[in-house]
Every structure is written in C-alpha cells, then in structure tokens.
Amino acid sequence: MSRVYNFSAGPAVLPEEVLKEAAAEMLDYKGTGMSVMEMSHRSKAYQEIIETAEADLRELMNIPDNYKVLFLQGGASQQFAMIPMNLMKNGEADYIVTGQWAKKAWQEAQKYGKANKIASSEDKTFSYIPDCSDLPISENADYVYICENNTIYGTKYKKLPNTKGKVLVADVSSCFLSEPVDVTKYGVIYGGVQKNIGPAGVVIVIIREDLITDDVPEYTPTMLKYKTHADAASLYNTPPAYGIYICGKVFQWLKRQGGLAAMKERNEKKAKILYDYLDESRLFKGTVEKKDRSLMNVPFVTGNPEMDAKFVKEAKAAGFENLKGHRTVGGMRASIYNAMPIEGVEALVAFMKKFEEENL
Ligand SMILES: *Cc1c(COP(=O)(O)O)cnc(C)c1O
C-alpha cells in the first residue's frame, strides 16, 4: 500500500487514522454483524452514531443550545436555494461576492427574491476580500451572505463583515473546523463536508432556532424546509448515514488532536511553511493579497502556463497529487486541509525548491 500526498480541493484528504478505523469496522460494526452502510438509520446502533456525532460537533464548535445542527444532503449547492427559500421573509437579501461559490449562491437567490450584490472582488479575479466594515446593507435585507473561505481563489475573511444587525449566513465548506469560531455571530453556518470533514454527500447546517419557521413560500418542497429536518433531528428520511458516521469519526479525531484551537495553530504553521517559500521563491508566487490568504487553499503560479503544466506533471510523478489549479484560474493550488500532515507540506516545499533550482 502506498498513499500519496493528496492536495485535492475536494473531495479531499481524510485522516489516515479515521480511514483505518472505518476499515476495521467495515464488516462488523461493534458486534452488530453488519457494516454501518447496511444498518437501519432507525436502529439503536445508528441512533448512537448520529447523536454522538452531533454532540461532538457541538463540543468542538461550542454551539449554543439555541442552534440546531442538521445533517442534510444535496451538497453545499442545494443550500444556495434553501437559504433564500427559508430565510427571505421580506423577499430581499444582501450578497458579498468574493468568488465563484458566492456568485452562484447570489445568482440562485435571485430566483426567490431580490438578491443585492453589495460588494464584490471580481474586478481583480477575486484575489482579495473587500472592505466590509461599512457596506450599504439594505434596510429590508433578511440576511447578509458570505462565502467565508474561497476554495478556488484562496482567500478568507479575517474579520466578519459588519452586517449592521442583520443575520449573517456563511458558507464555510472549505474552512469548516479549521479554527475556533464564535457561532453566536452567525444566523446560519453551513458547508459541504467533503472539503475539510468527511466524504461527499453530507452537508452540515448550523442554524439559529428562530430562523427555522413554517413561514416559507408555499411551493417550498418538504425536503427543502429546514423545519422538516429540525423537527425530525435529521432523520425525516434516510440521511447520508455512512457519511455522517465518518464525519463523527473525524470529530473524535479532532478532539484527540486538541480541538479547534490546536487545529488553528497547526494550520497556521502548515500554511506559513508554504507561504514563506512562495514569498521568497523566484519561480513561484502566490496569487492573492497577503492579508486575505486562506489557511486551507493556497493557489500559486509561475506565470508561465507551460512551466505550470510541467510542475504539475513532475509533482504527480513524485507523489504529490491534485496540485493543478481550478480550471477557471489555471496554475496550481495546494489544499492543505486539517488532515494534511505537516510532513506533506514540508515535502511539497522541498520538491518545489528542487524544481525551482532545476528550472531557473
Ligand atoms: C465545493 C464548494 C461548494 C460546492 O459544494 P457541493 O457540495 O459540490 O455543492 C460550495 N461552496 C464552497 C465554498 C465550496 O468549496
């Protein structure tokens, strides 16, 4: 068996310990004589899995009691519709467009009401986070929407926008559990888990209870109402049962690592190794404003598409997978999520240094 260093933006690297545990429990989960994939989601064994997962997530993120935790399906992209359907009581919301995912969310919201783009960084290929200290927040806005970490462009909000009292909704898909967060600052925090937590197929929504109501447009499908899932503790229908089980294992792994404060420290250390090298390299350079750099997704270029392609090819041959940048940006991107060991980043930088020497 040989494992590569996987820098994929998602689905992405998972902790090896978790994969091993899951493998060991594959045929017989704790004496049930079956795998978690084969058991009823109404069984006692599964009940314990989902309840423990929720409790551990609540502990990790310090989620207050007046927030619900929902395990849903449909990807982060389905939330682009669920959020306006469920939250637009005045039929209006404000969007800050800092990348493709925020832009898609903003476009989708236009189907359900007035979605105002109140700031954007598209003028400079989304390479920065706009100043959000005094934005023209709409009086009637039901919420202000952000994508907190921009997976494709590699930027992150270091300070949350001043929403002037409006509810903040954040897509945290690619920075979920990468550092401590103050949940009380948000109305909704959500993300697809396939970036930094678990396997594709699960979306976690953390939502303040007063935002969960029956007051939604009549056409809203039952499955797209937060209330449906909140009332049934994420078991209205069959949930993505195996995926939730793996997420639960990752939560336990995170607790063993020392929780989110320890993850932040480790993530900062890892990102610094790569950014410090990018800042001194004569061949490679980072593509975003330093103050807005993501700890999770690190895009970089040589400035020469042929050299970029050569690098990606040689890196792959050396065991560094999925370094090619997003198809809309080009260049390279190293996603260094929680489960990427520090040795992976050190090895990548050593390889980049060697490549630089050989190609300058
Ligand atoms: C990957 C990603 C999405 C899309 O997720 P799906 O689960 O594929 O719908 C949305 N937002 C962000 C920030 C992402 O990184």
Q: Tell me, what's the pLDDT at 328? A: 79
76 lines ligand 1 (CB under 6 A): yes
Q: Could you report the per-residue pLDDT of 43-99, keeping only the tens digit for each?
A: 999 999 999 999 999 999 999 999 999 999 999 999 999 999 999 999 999 999 999
Q: Which two tokens stand for residue 293?
A: 């750099």
98 lines ligand 1 (CB under 6 A): no
**Which residues of the chain are under the pLDDT cut of 50?**
none
Q: Are 310 and 286 a contacting pair, CB within 8 Å?
A: no
Q: Could you report the per-residue pLDDT of 283-326, keeping only the tens digit for each?
A: 999 999 999 999 999 999 999 999 999 999 999 999 999 999 99
List the Cα angle 79/82/88 in 5-degree steps.
Answer: 125
> What separation in Å is there between the alpha carbon of 57 and the centre of ligand 1?
20
Q: Tell me, what's the pLDDT at 2? A: 85
Closest-CA residue, ligand 1 atom 14, reads 173
> What separation in Å is there between the alpha carbon of 77 and the centre of ligand 1?
6
Q: Are 316 and 196 a contacting pair, CB within 8 Å?
A: no
> Token match 């903003």: residue?
106
Q: Are 125 and 331 a contacting pair, CB within 8 Å?
A: no
> What separation in Å is there between the alpha carbon of 148 and the centre of ligand 1?
12
CA-based nearest residue to 173, from 68, 79, 66:
79
State which amino acid sits at residue 139. Answer: E
156 lines ligand 1 (CB under 6 A): no
**DSSP 8-state class, residue 3:** -
Q: Atom of ligand 1 at shortest distance to CA of 10?
A: 1
77 lines ligand 1 (CB under 6 A): yes
Rounded CA separation 137/41 (Å): 43
151 lines ligand 1 (CB under 6 A): yes
| Residues labelled catalytic | 101, 171, 195
Query: Is the pTM value of this prediction over 0.95?
Result: yes
For residue 21, the SS3 value is helix
